[in-house]
Amino acid sequence: MSFAGAEVYFAELVAERIVPVDDPTGMRWKKAIMKLDPSFNISTARQTLDTQRRGSLANVLDALSLGAVLEAARNLPRWTLVTRMGGKHLNLDAAAMDSLPAAQRAEFDARVAAETAAGFNYLYESFTIYDKWHAGVLRQEAPVLADLFAFLNSDAFLEPMRVILDSPTISFCDGQLTRYRAGHFLTTHDDAVEGKDRIAAYVLSLTEDWQDNWGGQLEFYNPGGKAEVSFIPRLNALSLFKIPQPHAVTKIGANVTAHRLSITGWLRQGKDPGP
Residue-range domain boundaries for the chain? 36-269
Mean pLDDT of 230-244: 98
**Residue 275 confidence (pLDDT):** 86
Percent above pLDDT 70 for the chain: 88
**pLDDT for 211 beyond 90:** yes
Which pLDDT band holds residue 26 (cuts at 50, 70, 90)?
A: very low
* Strand pairing category for 26-31 and 54-57: unpaired
**Residue 33 confidence (pLDDT):** 77
Q: How far apart are CA 93 and CA 210, in angstroms?
A: 26
The per-residue pLDDT of the chain, averaged, comes to 91
The larger pLDDT score, comparing residue 2 to residue 85, is at: 85
175 burial class (0-12, 13-18, 19+ CB within 10 angstroms)? buried
- What are 36's strand-pairing partners? 61
Which pLDDT band holds residue 255 (cuts at 50, 70, 90)?
A: very high
Which pLDDT band holds residue 5 (cuts at 50, 70, 90)?
A: low
**pLDDT for 1 beyond 70:** no
**Residue 28 confidence (pLDDT):** 39
The larger pLDDT score, comparing residue 250 to residue 4, is at: 250
- Torsion 30-144-65-44 (CA) sign: negative
Q: CB-based contacts of 77: which residues, under 8 Å, 6+ apart?
A: none
**pLDDT for 162 beyond 60:** yes
Q: How far apart are CA 184 and CA 112, in angstroms?
A: 11
The DSSP 8-state label assigned to residue 250 in this structure reads P
**Residue 200 confidence (pLDDT):** 98
Which pLDDT band holds residue 229 (cuts at 50, 70, 90)?
A: very high
Q: What is the pLDDT of residues 46-99, one digit of tens each?
A: 999 999 999 999 999 999 999 999 999 999 999 999 999 999 999 999 999 999
CATH topology for 36-269 is: Jelly Rolls (2.60.120)
**pLDDT for 19 beyond 80:** no
Q: CB-based contacts of 111: which residues, under 8 Å, 6+ apart?
A: 85
Q: What's the whole-model pTM score?
A: 0.88
Which pLDDT band holds residue 3 (cuts at 50, 70, 90)?
A: low
